[in-house]
Amino acid sequence: MKQLMLGNQAFARGLYEAGCEVVSSYPGTPSTEVTEEAAKFEEIYCEWAPNEKVAMEVAFGASLAGKRSFCGMKHVGLNVAADPLYTAAYTGVNAGLVVCVADDAGMHSSQNEQDSRHHAIASKVPMLEPSDSAESLAFAKLAFEISEEFDTPVIMKMCTRVAHSQSVVEISDRVVPEMKAYEKNIQKYVMMPGNAIRRHPVVEERMKKLTEWAETCELNRVEKGGTSLGIITSSTSYQYAKEVYGEDASILKLGMVNPLPVKLIKDFADSVDRLIVIEELDPIIENHVKSLGIQVSGKDLLPICGEFSQNLIAKALGKEIPESVSLEDTMPARPPLMCAGCPHRGLFYVLSKNKVTVLGDIGCYTLGAVAPLSAMDMTLCMGASISSIHGFNKARGAETEGKTVAVIGDSTFMHSGMTGLANIAYNQSNSTVIILDNSITGMTGHQQNPTTGYNIKGDPAGKIDLEALCKAMGFERVRVVDPYNLEETEAAVKEELAVCEPSVIISRRPCALLKTVKHNAPYTCDKDKCKSCKACMRIGCPALSLKDGKVVVDATLCVGCGVCKQLCKFDALKEG
Amino acid sequence: MTKNIMIVGVGGQGSLLASKLLGRLLLDAGFDVKVSEVHGMSQRGGSVVTYVRFGEKVYSPIIDKGEADYIVSFELLEAARYVEYLKPEGKIVVNTQTIDPMPVITGAMEYPENLVEKMQAKGIYVDAMDCLKLANEAGSSKAVNLVLMGKLSKYFDEIPEEKWIEAIKVCVPPKFVELNLKAFELGKNN
């Protein structure tokens, strides 16, 4: 039966049909749904790991034990998991091991737009790249076969437009291969120098074989469309190229982007008058083609930054684009922002009011940087808030210790904040760390984590006690505040900044979007009492706006958190 | 010939249900379909766009400027923001509800006035309606998406109403079917 599926859902279906039995991942847009969808199959053991490195090592362990396994992550997650990946290329696998990495050209929900193909090249691991949901399903199954045939992990690279687009797939039954025997093999699996020296040539030989295989494999195909123009492309760029050229150009569509074929490309280049590589982000295919001594266009015409579209390609290649109309008005931008009732808002208001330097981290709370709160000075990568505040304070000492904080979410803290905190405890800086505990992994759409007490299926699970953890590391000063209470929150921030020792504040209040959170009745504003002072507007709540100079509360958005009321000196904002 | 429907609105307004419904409906009608969604950070109260494309064979999952046959908008400013994506002969179906974006909330900018009239002055076909009012009439402010779908259905002569109703029954949890069918009817008949 034909059905529509997200690329990520189709990928999960592929895992199911291929008989994958163990899945361990860390959520990250646009990769999250592969694991969420896989978790819906009873037959697959699925979990959220604390971070991508752990997830990949779990999947590696399951492969070693003899069962097909998988782990998924976003592009920057592969940086975290690079350590096991690069050496798993040496050990190879027992049962098939497939890794999903999802790139985010255009940075819809990411802090950079690195091109993950570099990781595949550098780690010498084959990488497949589907261009729609049907391929996501088919390639996932094929990836396990390649993994077992060539004894290597296989990476499948998704991108936002493949991961989050629905297209038509046809499903088939699950076939579970027989579990592989586990045999102790020190030379293959214990990567100390004496053994690794013997494994490196195996990796090089494997890549040669894979390159030969790439010449004729079904993943790479030529679609004939005349001889005047030839296009080499992959992934979503293939879809844009087809949209622009239809049957008017010949296309070499690559489904495996590492290693790249040689003869196939040479023959294709010989068959056309002009050759263009259409690929998002870095010129990886283009540079490979050039290294073969073939004249080719690519990044001389198309951008390295951002994502492509059919019009972008058409325009760059001298084709007409459709006409359109526009209005003269400058439209006010509508950037993403913290939701009405977001527990982070009260804390960021306090930090903004007290002009605190805020070293931030990755999550919903990165939106604390948005006006009018503008309460963030830095965001780099998962966990960097805590590690960086230590460096910041070591560099400037007392000058900054009393007015700088690190803010990090509960899930990000579990991911890679704990090691930074250990460094503060060990190397002793008078740093103040605020853990924003909203009892969920928020930004990626509500995934459980080690602090929530539930697993990926929603069943009760182990629960790490943040206060006990911080105390066990040696922090004497660990306190919990409710960020809906501005007075309490401000007092805690001021006190902890003032003391000359490291401290942790846990700002605790569950995400307002959680189904388990009961909302209060929406607030209302008494127009007669409102003096238009706009004090309540300083928190940047989307439920508040001004109509004819007076504050109006949007009852469809307001969850009754009451933070605005605490800022009103005229008693104009009222419950219910 | 590929047809293009853009669904725009503010994160959290429920556009994912609308695109799910359209996807199901168009697939059942025998078309090749692609639906492209936005997840993650952009969803948090930001401007959200969903692309629905259908035809004999659909390649690109996204709709580019000048390509949309229809823009279905959950909010007035968002319709105006994406006007450039409309084909000159395209149609806009818009909920006249307004939600202030942050630059308006902070007072840095004004919410543009008379947007429906300005779009019409450019020769654009605009079908504007207070869908929030009709959704409330149906029983829930969350049913704006089905009011809009009801309105959109009027422009799809080739798809009979039973097919829409069938798709709604499949895409909506059983306990909300009645409410959503009512919202659909209100959208279609107003």
Which domains, and CATH codes, for chain A? 2-216 (3.40.50.970), 221-320 (3.40.50.920), 343-508 (3.40.50.970), 524-574 (3.30.70.20)
At A495, which helix (H) or strand (E)? helix A486-498
CB half-sphere exposure, A572, CA atoms < 13 A:
22
**pLDDT greater than 60 at residue A269:** yes
Contacts of A373 (CB under 8 A, 6+ apart): A345, A348, A349, A352, A538, A539, A540
Q: Given B44, B78, B81, which is nearest A339 (Cβ)?
A: B44
**pLDDT greater than 80 at residue B42:** no
**pLDDT greater than 60 at residue A424:** yes
A518 alpha carbon, distance to own chain's centre: 29
More confident residue, A335 or A254: A254
Tokens for B177, please give them. 């079917």
What is the SS3 assignment for B92? strand
Alpha helices in A92-153 (DSSP H): 117-123, 133-150
**pLDDT greater than 70 at residue B41:** no
Q: How far apart are CA B170 and CA A531, in angstroms?
A: 51
Q: What is the mean pLDDT of residues B64-83?
A: 97
Specify the DSSP class assigned to residue A300.
Answer: T
CA dihedral sign, ordered B139, B46, A321, A319: negative
- The answer to whether A89 and A188 are in contact (CB under 8 A) is no
- Determine, for residues B102 and A540 on separate chains, whether the beta-carbon distance falls below 8 Å: yes
Strands A97-103 and A221-223: unpaired
Q: What is the mean pLDDT of residues A468-497?
A: 98
CB half-sphere exposure, A27, CA atoms < 13 A:
28
* Domain hosting residue B92, numbered range: 3-188
Q: Which of B66, B7, B68 is nearest to B38 (CA)?
A: B7
- The answer to whether B69 and B3 are in contact (CB under 8 A) is yes
- Determine, for residues A309 and B84 on separate chains, whether the beta-carbon distance falls below 8 Å: no
Q: Given this model, what pLDDT does residue B108 score?
A: 87
Q: Given this model, what pLDDT does residue A548 score?
A: 87
| A319-333 pLDDT tens trace | 999 999 999 999 999
Q: Given B36, B38, B44, which is nearest A367 (Cβ)?
A: B44
| A33-89 pLDDT tens trace | 999 999 999 999 999 999 999 999 999 999 999 999 999 999 999 999 999 999 999
Query: Which of A131, A309, A334, A342 is the mutation pick for testing B, counting most B CBs within 10 A?
Result: A334
Q: Which residues pair with A103 in a beta bridge?
A: A159
Q: Given this model, what pLDDT does residue B43 score?
A: 63
**pLDDT greater than 60 at residue A25:** yes
Q: Which residues pair with A102 in a beta bridge?
A: A74, A158
- Determine, for residues B36 and A161 on separate chains, whether the beta-carbon distance falls below 8 Å: yes
- The answer to whether A329 and B112 are in contact (CB under 8 A) is yes
Q: Given this model, what pLDDT does residue B37 score?
A: 87
Domain count, chain B: 1
What is the SS3 assignment for A25? strand
Q: What are phi and psi of A562, to 5 degrees?
A: 80, 5
Q: Given this model, what pLDDT does residue B107 score?
A: 83
Alpha-carbon distances, residue A82 vs A73, A97, A124, A200 (angstroms): 11, 15, 12, 17
- Res. A177 pLDDT band, cuts 50 70 90: very high
**pLDDT greater than 60 at residue A288:** yes
- Least Cα separation, residue A311 to chain B (angstroms): 6
Q: Given A32, A168, A243, which is nearest B60 (Cβ)?
A: A243
Alpha-carbon distances, residue A138 vs A18, A43, A135, B104 (angstroms): 9, 19, 5, 48
Residues of chain A contacting B107 with CB distance shorter than 8 Å: 534, 537, 546
Specify the DSSP class assigned to residue A181.
Answer: P
Q: How far apart are CA A392 and CA A209, in angstroms?
A: 49
Q: What mean pLDDT value characterizes chain A?
A: 97
- Least Cα separation, residue B37 to chain A (angstroms): 6
Q: Which residues pair with A231 in a beta bridge?
A: A251, A276
Q: Which of A409, A402, A420 is nearest to A356 (CA)?
A: A402
Q: Given this model, what pLDDT does residue A197 score?
A: 98
Whose structure tokens read 């790139």?
Answer: A103
**pLDDT greater than 60 at residue A378:** yes
- Res. B12 pLDDT band, cuts 50 70 90: confident
Supply the DSSP string of B145-183, one letter for each residue: HHHHHHHHHTT-TTS-HHHHHHHHHHHS-GGGHHHHHHH
Helices A344-353 + A486-498 axis angle, to 10: 50
- The answer to whether A207 and A124 are in contact (CB under 8 A) is yes
Q: What is the mean pLDDT of residues B132-155?
A: 95
3-state SS of A523-567 is: CEECCCCCCCCCHHHHHCCCCEEEECCEEEECCCCCCCCCCCHHH
- Determine, for residues A334 and B119 on separate chains, whether the beta-carbon distance falls below 8 Å: no
Specify the DSSP class assigned to residue B84.
Answer: G
Residue type, A235: S
Please tell me which residue of chain B has the smallest CA distance to A74. B40
**pLDDT greater than 80 at residue A274:** yes
A11-50 CB burial, b ≥16 within 10 A, e <16: bbbbbbbbbbbbbbbbbbbbbbbbbbbbbebeebbbbbbb
Can the peptide bond before residue A30 be classed as cis, meaning omega within 30 degrees of 0?
yes
- The answer to whether B76 and B99 are in contact (CB under 8 A) is no
Strand order in the sheet with A97-103: A45-48, A22-25, A69-74, A97-103, A154-159, A127-128, A256-258
At B185, which helix (H) or strand (E)? helix B177-189
- Determine, for residues B66 and A321 on separate chains, whether the beta-carbon distance falls below 8 Å: yes
- Res. B1 pLDDT band, cuts 50 70 90: confident
- Least Cα separation, residue A289 to chain B (angstroms): 25
Contacts of B156 (CB under 8 A, 6+ apart): none
Tally helices (H) and strands (E) across chain A: 21, 22
- Res. B86 pLDDT band, cuts 50 70 90: very high
A11 alpha carbon, distance to own chain's centre: 16
Query: Which of A244, A327, A352, A519 is the mutation pick for testing B, counting most B CBs within 10 A?
Result: A327
| A531-571 pLDDT tens trace | 999 999 999 999 999 888 899 999 888 999 999 999 999 99
Tokens for B44, please give them. 């948090």
- Least Cα separation, residue B164 to chain A (angstroms): 17
% of chain B surpassing 70 pLDDT: 98
Q: How far apart are CA A170 and CA B32, in angstroms?
A: 13
- Res. B40 pLDDT band, cuts 50 70 90: low
At B7, which helix (H) or strand (E)? strand B3-10
Query: Which of A9, A32, A324 is the mutation pick for testing B, counting most B CBs within 10 A?
Result: A324
Q: Given B23, B42, B111, which is nearest A166 (Cβ)?
A: B23
Q: Which of A45, A17, A30, A41 is nearest to A77 (CA)?
A: A30
- Least Cα separation, residue B146 to chain A (angstroms): 17
Residues of chain A contacting B62 with CB distance shorter than 8 Å: 161, 309-310
CB half-sphere exposure, A164, CA atoms < 13 A:
25
Q: Which residues pair with B36 in a beta bridge?
A: A165, B51
Tokens for B30, please give them. 């025998």
Whose structure tokens read 């947007």?
Answer: B115
- Determine, for residues A338 and B45 on separate chains, whether the beta-carbon distance falls below 8 Å: yes
Q: Given this model, what pLDDT does residue B24 score?
A: 95
Residue B140 belongs to domain with CATH number: 3.40.920.10
- Res. A438 pLDDT band, cuts 50 70 90: very high
